[in-house]
Amino acid sequence: MSFSTDTKNELTHIGPDKKCCMLAEITGFLRMCGSIQLAGGGKMDIKLSTENPAIARLFIKLIKSYFGAKADLSVSEAHVLKKGHSYELTITSEMNAEQILRETGILRVKEGSNYISDGIYPDLIRRRCCKKACLRGIFLGSGTITDPGKGYHVELVCASEYMAADVKRLVNSFGLKSKVSKRKNQYVVYLKESEQIIDFLNILGAHGQLLQYENVRIVREMRNKANRINNCESANVDKTVNTAGRQIENIRLIERSRGLASLPEKLIETARLRLENPEATLAELAEMTDPPMKKSGINHRLKKLDEIAERIRAGART
């Protein structure tokens, strides 16, 4: 199973205890994957769909506990491009569908007429516990989270820009920094930083998945750090080899044109050490001198040899 599926399965075992949180979680889920169907005579049915059987069982239980309503469950094959099944809950007008729509703030009255509202009804999420429950319902309805071994990304897919703005506001009320992007006819509220996603999992209450996410993230970052160190060391080795190659070339030039015996004794020692140890670092060369010297000292001598070689080249050009 995917990391998203495992996270959702864990969340289905939380089950809010407070009535206010039950209503908030039902509202979040209904807003994400619910639809209203006219049943004739001004009556309405509610349909909720999910591809996760554990989520279907959770909301059958929540709807019965809070509203005393029974939701009919039907199972069908999932979309042709997906495997598995689709689980559809139907709440008819006889099963208090209208009451559910009114209490979740979806069916409202304005100037004596019913209308379908958009967004999240603010009165349902005044308490912090209700905000968490609503966000949990939203994630169960339309959320995805990338496996931390592959990347850091959480998405909450919304049907309207207005709904996306409310979901973003809800997420960010916990100190997170979610953003919204448009994708075809949908609006996606997303998080992309690992620390923010860990906080998000904590808010939802998915503590088991949070620990797994943290473990994978740590291993991934340690591996990335090791790769960076290896790359840095490789770059340093390449730099050392290239520098040593240039120094040897300059020493050979001095040897051909003037002879090393024309150099001061200290430079002769340095030149011979470099010719005999082409792969040695400056620190290693410094340890080979008699007596041993500091890295800065051997570097100064090698620069002197470079300057002599450059003067020889300049004289050859003139």
> Per residue in 51-60, pLDDT tens?
999 999 999 9
pLDDT, position 234? 66
Tokens of 245: 């190659």
Omega of the bond leading into 292 within 30 degrees of 0 (cis): no
How do strand 34-40 and strand 43-50 relate by DSSP bridges? antiparallel
Helix spans in 107-263 (H)? 128-142, 161-172, 194-204, 207-257
Domain segments of the chain: what residues? 6-205, 240-317
**What's 6-205's CATH class?**
alpha beta
Q: What do you get for the CA distance between the two ends of the chain, in Å?
A: 75
Cα distances from 78 to residues 8, 48, 52, 89, in angstroms, run 18, 14, 11, 15
Select, from the ranges 158-167, 207-216, 230-239, the one with the highest average predicted confidence (pLDDT).
158-167
Average pLDDT, the chain: 88
Report whether 159 contacts 30 (CB < 8 A): no
Tokens of 50: 């999910």
Q: Is residue 81 pLDDT above 70, yes or no?
A: no
Residue 28: exposure state from Cβ atoms within 10 A (0-12, 13-18, ≥19): buried
Residue type, position 309, single letter:
A
Report whether 91 contacts 97 (CB < 8 A): yes
